[in-house]
Structure 1
Amino acid sequence: MPGKEINSWFDEWKTESLYREAVENCNDCVDDSPIGRDGIIVGPILRLRNVDYESFLYKGSILVITRGHGTAPKITYQTGYSYAEDCGSKDPQFSEGEFTSTLFHEEGRGESTFYFFRYDIEIPLVDVEQMVKYQLDGEWRPHFRFFIPAKSANFNMISYSCNGFSLSVDTTRFQGSLWFDILNKHSKIHYSVMLGGGDQIYSDSIQIYCEKVKEWTQTINPVKKFSTVVDEEFHRQLNEFYLTEYLEWYGYGHWKGATPKSKTTQRCFPIAMATIPSINIWDDHDIIDGFGSYAHTFMKTDAFSSIGKAAYKYYMLFQHHVSITERKAYLEDPMWIIGPNPSPYIREPSHSIFTRVGPNMGLLGLDCRTERKLKEIVSEDTYDVVFKKLVAEANKAKMDHLFVMLGVPIAYPRLVFLEWLFSSSLLAPLRALAKRGIIVGHGFINEFNGDVELLDDLNDHWCARHHKKERNGLVARLQDYGAKYGIRITILSGDVHLASIGRFMTKRHRHPLIFNAEQSKRENAKVENEPENDMRLMFNVISSAVVNTPPPNGMASLLQSKANIHHFDHETDEDAVPIFNVEVSGSNHRKEKCFLNKRNWSDIIPVENAMKNEYLSQILKSKVGDVILPGIVSDTTGMNKINHHDENTKQTNKTNPDKGFFAYPITEKGVIVSLNMETDVENPDSKTTKYCLPIPELRMTCDSLSHSGLKHCNLH
């Protein structure tokens, strides 16, 4: 551990050289399991639990898993200044101590026993950002550190999803790792938390490597498949699969898919988890592809529901550091928003998350998978509990921003025709023949219930016909909540393997009656020039995938063709932000301006933090008061300032509201969202190109908004 000397405490963390070697051969993995025979095999993994701004207390946890012996490793820590300039001539360190351990789960497998230790973190907030360095059994590594914002500062956040490959992806072409890029930026920006928006692990290989599940999925007789009883051996194999899958992925970044070319070792992922605390929600691949979006008769089968129950157990253990047998940690931690009823298939209550991520920012992680059914994502009773919590938090202390984690995008093009086609009786004869293996290539139908393979993905979407009513009700309820309390709401999503930003905003009048022409112009000008006063403005930042392969160019083109303006109600329009005007190289104007099919991750930085950070200020080259057109960040000019003339492209940045090009101001209480897009999949340097959108706070309030004209809505 570094000593008390200032120059050793403020060590230079050279991530580019430290972890570059970890990227080598990231498109391959060892043939055997990498899990160690004894000692520490997983961890340390950091988790953010809750930040209390009444007592100014930061709460988190660390997960460490050992094999072979049940003695808890010792974790000691020291806290101190993050920056030398904050320290001056004072001692750079504040305090030191030891994190208390709890053995919260142990599990035997063969001759081995695995011990799960949780270490509780409780550190007081102070007037400056703190760096916490910790040792594990006397060993310190450069990434054994994390950063706690000052008591007056909001959090720097990462949002990511789809952290793994689909079963048959050819991984050989991916020679970089975006986790390396995350580490490189983290060392300069100091991210306070990373938000896992679902699919933190890909468990679809259960149908290959779990013999009982493999046998069950290959059962052709539907009566036999639906009536299969899960016996003790079936349960044992389910537990063994998920335990092994998590140990290999969370401990070593190791994964093996369905083909000899489907392999990866994401060594930078466990390193990132040791230096950036996580908050996670889950999605279907954390369980198995499509869980929750199949017909009720299939979902309730003993085999499929047992898969969900086993996945839930290990999701809680690894992603939340909690055992479902612990009453206090599982049911009483103040960060949880517990669903009032057991879920239909997993038979456990949903666990949504709320915490402050700064004195003026809140985070809601909505559990959209535990309760999910084909025709319902979250129950009405659970929505009521969630919004009751949000109201209580708004009354407790002012929030300028609320970030809502939804696994699947809620502002996204409709694919109604494909949904209709794949569920249509027109394809019934082909489905029947495919089930018998008579015609159609592998992958036309899934092996679970015989539906067309992509139907579960379409049924997952909020805009699917089964979910449209629920979706509109949630959006309207969020709009009303934000308007009443003056909170800017931003939705964070993933799932779709590309980047985009959906947008709800006050409707512009495009065909005003002649006698209302002047009034319409004034109202339109207000919408265009005063987004900080638009109570209906709500962005859906879609960042996916941090690891998985992007879809082909044709999918981006299809989505762009469907990205028309939709009238959510008579006063709200819905569209997508044309942020991807140029390629990651900075040249060649793109037709698919709203969708970019490259691997990516996003970050959300409070404007105040961005302006103070030397690294970011040099990149963004912007200041409070600048008005920005969403788009690529130029090496020479930074963010796209309105009316700036670029000598290289000979173009001037201008708005064009009729085509969706709106500009947004950088405000003191705003945030800057960046989509960090992979520049070159074949380069182990793993660089990304930054596309930015400033989001202003909301400066107006009203008791309620009109939702006249809103169709398909269960708002109450």
Structure 2
Amino acid sequence: MANHAFLVGPVLSFRGISGDGKDWQVTALVGIDAHASIPTMQVESRACPVPRELLLHRNQRFLRYDLSCPLQAQERRVRFGVPQGGIEWSFTVPALGATPRLAYVSCNGFSDPSGMRKLVRPENSVWEDLLISHDKELRGQQTPLLDREQLWHETRIHERGLQRFHLLLMGGDQIYFDSIWEDIPRLKAWVGLSRQEQLGFRVNKELEGQIEHYYFSLYSSRWLGRKRRAWGVGKPNRDGADALARIPTIMMWDDHDIFDGWGSYSCEMQQSPLFQTLFRHARRAFWVFQMQHALSDLPALEEATPAGFSVQDPLYRPLAWNTVLRHDPRALPLLDGQPGFTSAFRMGAVALVVADLRTERSRTQILGPESWSALKRWLNSPASATTATRHLLFMSSVPVVHPKLGLAEGWLDTFGQDHVLDSNADDLKDHWAHDDHEGERKRLLDVLFGTAQTRKLRVSILSGDVHVAAWGLASHQDAAAAATTGPIQQFTSSGVVHPSLMNVLERLFLRMLESTAAKAQQDAQYRIEMMRFPGHSRYVLAARNWLALELDEGGDTPSHKLWATWRCETETGFSNHMQTVP
């Protein structure tokens, strides 16, 4: 198969460790022309099983290949590719029982193309830095601007032993669908309607077809841009597509994977026919492209309003994922009995919860009652931890620990709502720290601190969304409880492509954010505070960035210390910021 024939991919996806603990389960999404022959894929010189068709849409076919391979006593590099075109990629598998090395990113795109023109560095420079860190073969081909970073990479590998990443965690906004309001003429016209006209707007069959096609087609153009060099031609592009083809991913959506601010609009707007149509097709596209499941396996969401709950909240009947996906040997480990897509993994000394904070989101709710129950069931089950488990990582697309901007919240609550092209109000309403969600944030901390205490774990939160790098702590006010569990640390890393706070208004907002960050939030139970960013005088660092996570478990007496290292973009290169979790 010719190397230019891919419409998208390969995009690697981690499916968990097999039940017997022997296999590292990985799949690859590939898109081809519907009239082309289905390519053969090889992994470690053996033919992959026949791929599963996930979606056939117009003239495009999307396939999922199984690249799973056995775990061995030593870490190894696994090569895979399409023999007909001579194209080859590779990913790295950890040793049997070892904890994988992780990279974390978020915000892989932009909401406003004009913002990208203000960047000092190239659009893909953060991806380039991650890939150079990941693969020594790329270091010899780095750009002159990054030559000064060679010493950091070599020192990091020599001193910490950290080399290729085993997993790439993507915490939200893997793609930005905000452009739908501009690119589909009838939606562009909808923006100019009165509020009442917007709420009563009906979606006809023609418009629904355009919306469906937009969600299914944008992944190809954004994840494998037509302007990049084709696979196998010239130097590597060192962009997001290169990373997705080299490191198995774990993805969870946030608002831009639907459209900006989804879940934080008014109840009336959220339940309007147009918004529900957009959400339905965004959900279908997310299921296929980010979760790599067949569209035919996706159950519809059915509404349910139990007694005592407000009809304003999108409450859905729980889905029996174990039954729905029992025929798929490479199904993601979705928590059973939830309406959303929250999944959980256990890998060596680390357990990982990937929380879906969008499916059930409203202005007054982040997770519905069934999702809270499913989360607590898993955390209390033997599947969540063994005696070897030392750390629980909780992926929250929106920061749990973040400055509380009460004055801005009040102003935007009064003057700003339901504007799809200017959703500053919706961004603030997204925050766990917002008054509407603060009670639910306390519930989350109760669950996480309870898990830390009963399972004898350290808990850390990974977050993105806010286009800055930041470090925060949540701790018990009670000294005895604090001594038992220690604090929960949060590492915020955002964005890998999206610009940080750059223009005049954003810089004013940054000053307000910095001022507010100096003040701890506390009640009778918890103290929530931003910490000065490691190696910096500020609380929040306005720079594009990515995060590396490595567990120190080597030697005869491993410390199981978790090392978190931010790589933050500067005008001349990247700065290095490290924090540890004991």
Alignment TM class, shorter chain as reference: 0.7 to 0.9
C-alpha spacing 1:302/1:567, structure 2 compared with 1 (3 Å): closer
- Counterpart for residue 39 of structure 1: 5
- Counterpart for residue 469 of structure 2: 499
The one of 142, 147, 150 equivalent to 2:95 is: 150
Asked if structure 1 preserves the Cα contact closer than 8 Å seen for 2:261 and 2:423, the reply is no
- Counterpart for residue 468 of structure 1: 438
> How far apart in 2 are the matches of 1:131 and 1:372?
40
Asked if structure 2 preserves the Cα contact closer than 8 Å seen for 1:165 and 1:547, the reply is yes
The one of 98, 105, 116 equivalent to 2:47 is: 98
The one of 263, 280, 299 equivalent to 1:309 is: 280
> How far apart in 1 are the matches of 2:227 and 2:525?
49
Cα drift, residue 58 of structure 1: 1.1
The residue type paired with residue 693 of structure 1 is Q
Look up the SS of the partner of 1:672 in the other structure.
strand
The one of 209, 214, 217 equivalent to 1:244 is: 217
Cα drift, residue 369 of structure 1: 0.5
- Counterpart for residue 226 of structure 1: 199
The one of 372, 378, 390 equivalent to 1:400 is: 390
Give CA deviations for 1:275-330 in whole Å, capped at 9, x if unaligned.
00100000000111111111111111110111111111111111111123126896
Cα drift, residue 374 of structure 1: 1.4
C-alpha spacing 1:56/1:409, structure 2 compared with 1 (3 Å): same
Give CA deviations for 1:567-589 in whole Å, capped at 9, x if unaligned.
5444542212212444xxxxxxx
The residue type paired with residue 196 of structure 1 is M
> How far apart in 2 are the matches of 1:114 and 1:150?
38
Look up the SS of the partner of 1:164 in the other structure.
coil
The residue type paired with residue 410 of structure 1 is V
- Counterpart for residue 689 of structure 1: 575
Instruction: Out of 129-138 and 567-576, give the one that drifted further.
Output: 567-576
- Counterpart for residue 420 of structure 1: 410
- Counterpart for residue 542 of structure 2: 597
C-alpha spacing 1:324/1:146, structure 2 compared with 1 (3 Å): same
The residue type paired with residue 494 of structure 2 is S
Asked if structure 2 preserves the Cα contact closer than 8 Å seen for 1:253 and 1:266, the reply is no
> How far apart in 1 are the matches of 2:83 and 2:41?
6
Asked if structure 2 preserves the Cα contact closer than 8 Å seen for 1:413 and 1:563, the reply is yes
- Counterpart for residue 193 of structure 1: 167
The one of 373, 379, 391 equivalent to 2:368 is: 379
- Confirm or deny that 1:355 pairs with 2:345: yes
- Counterpart for residue 440 of structure 1: none
Please identify runs of 4+ aligned residues in structure 1 that moved more than 6 A.
Answer: 327-330
> How far apart in 2 are the matches of 1:37 and 1:223?
50
- Confirm or deny that 1:61 pairs with 2:61: no
- Confirm or deny that 1:676 pairs with 2:562: no
Q: Which structure: larger Rg?
A: 1
Give CA deviations for 1:124-172 in whole Å, capped at 9, x if unaligned.
1111002101121434456x00001001310110111111112253323
Look up the SS of the partner of 2:377 in the other structure.
helix
The one of 64, 68, 87 equivalent to 1:122 is: 68
Look up the SS of the partner of 2:392 in the other structure.
strand
Look up the SS of the partner of 2:459 in the other structure.
strand
Asked if structure 1 preserves the Cα contact closer than 8 Å seen for 2:51 and 2:63, the reply is yes
> How far apart in 1 are the matches of 2:525 and 2:279?
41
| TM-score normalised by length of structure 2 | 0.82
> How far apart in 2 are the matches of 1:59 and 1:558?
45
Give CA deviations for 1:455-490 in whole Å, capped at 9, x if unaligned.
100110001111111111011111011111111111
Asked if structure 1 preserves the Cα contact closer than 8 Å seen for 2:265 and 2:418, the reply is no
> How far apart in 2 are the matches of 1:352 and 1:48?
15
C-alpha spacing 1:313/1:266, structure 2 compared with 1 (3 Å): farther
Q: How does 1:203-282 map to 2 (within 5 A)?
A: 203-220=177-194, 222-252=195-225, 268-282=239-253
Asked if structure 2 preserves the Cα contact closer than 8 Å seen for 1:394 and 1:485, the reply is no
Cα drift, residue 38 of structure 1: 8.0
C-alpha spacing 1:383/1:571, structure 2 compared with 1 (3 Å): closer
Give CA deviations for 1:193-236 in whole Å, capped at 9, x if unaligned.
1111000111100001112322222222x332211221111111
Look up the SS of the partner of 1:540 in the other structure.
strand
> How far apart in 1 are the matches of 2:190 and 2:507?
36
> How far apart in 1 are the matches of 2:524 and 2:363?
29
> How far apart in 2 are the matches of 1:365 and 1:471?
16
The one of 320, 337, 349 equivalent to 2:291 is: 320
Asked if structure 1 preserves the Cα contact closer than 8 Å seen for 2:34 and 2:56, the reply is no
- Counterpart for residue 10 of structure 1: none
- Counterpart for residue 269 of structure 2: 298
Q: Which runs of 5+ in 2 are unaligned?
A: 137-162, 229-235, 299-320
Asked if structure 2 preserves the Cα contact closer than 8 Å seen for 1:132 and 1:146, the reply is yes
Equivalenced residues, count? 514
The one of 524, 529, 532 equivalent to 1:578 is: 532
> How far apart in 2 are the matches of 1:184 and 1:38?
24
- Counterpart for residue 311 of structure 2: none
Cα drift, residue 56 of structure 1: 1.8
> How far apart in 2 are the matches of 1:577 and 1:537?
12
Asked if structure 2 preserves the Cα contact closer than 8 Å seen for 1:103 and 1:115, the reply is no
Q: How does 1:446-465 map to 2 (within 5 A)?
A: 447-448=419-420, 453-465=423-435
The residue type paired with residue 162 of structure 1 is C
Asked if structure 1 preserves the Cα contact closer than 8 Å seen for 2:335 and 2:344, the reply is no
> Could you say what the CA RMSD is over the residues aligned between the two structures, in angstroms?
2.8
Q: How does 1:68-79 map to 2 (within 5 A)?
A: 68-69=34-35, 71-78=37-44
Cα drift, residue 253 of structure 1: 7.6
> How far apart in 2 are the matches of 1:336 and 1:77?
23
- Counterpart for residue 141 of structure 2: none
| TM-score normalised by length of structure 1 | 0.67
The residue type paired with residue 278 of structure 1 is T
Look up the SS of the partner of 1:64 in the other structure.
strand
Look up the SS of the partner of 2:80 in the other structure.
strand
The residue type paired with residue 560 of structure 2 is K
> How far apart in 2 are the matches of 1:301 and 1:230?
10
- Confirm or deny that 1:167 pairs with 2:112: yes
The residue type paired with residue 371 of structure 2 is T
> How far apart in 2 are the matches of 1:389 and 1:557?
41
C-alpha spacing 1:141/1:37, structure 2 compared with 1 (3 Å): closer
Asked if structure 1 preserves the Cα contact closer than 8 Å seen for 2:15 and 2:333, the reply is no
Look up the SS of the partner of 1:100 in the other structure.
coil
Cα drift, residue 99 of structure 1: 1.6
Give CA deviations for 1:530-582 in whole Å, capped at 9, x if unaligned.
xxx65041111100111111114433332221124535444542212212444
Q: Which runs of 5+ in 1 are unaligned?
A: 1-35, 79-95, 256-264, 342-348, 432-444, 510-522, 528-532, 583-589, 613-623, 625-666, 697-716
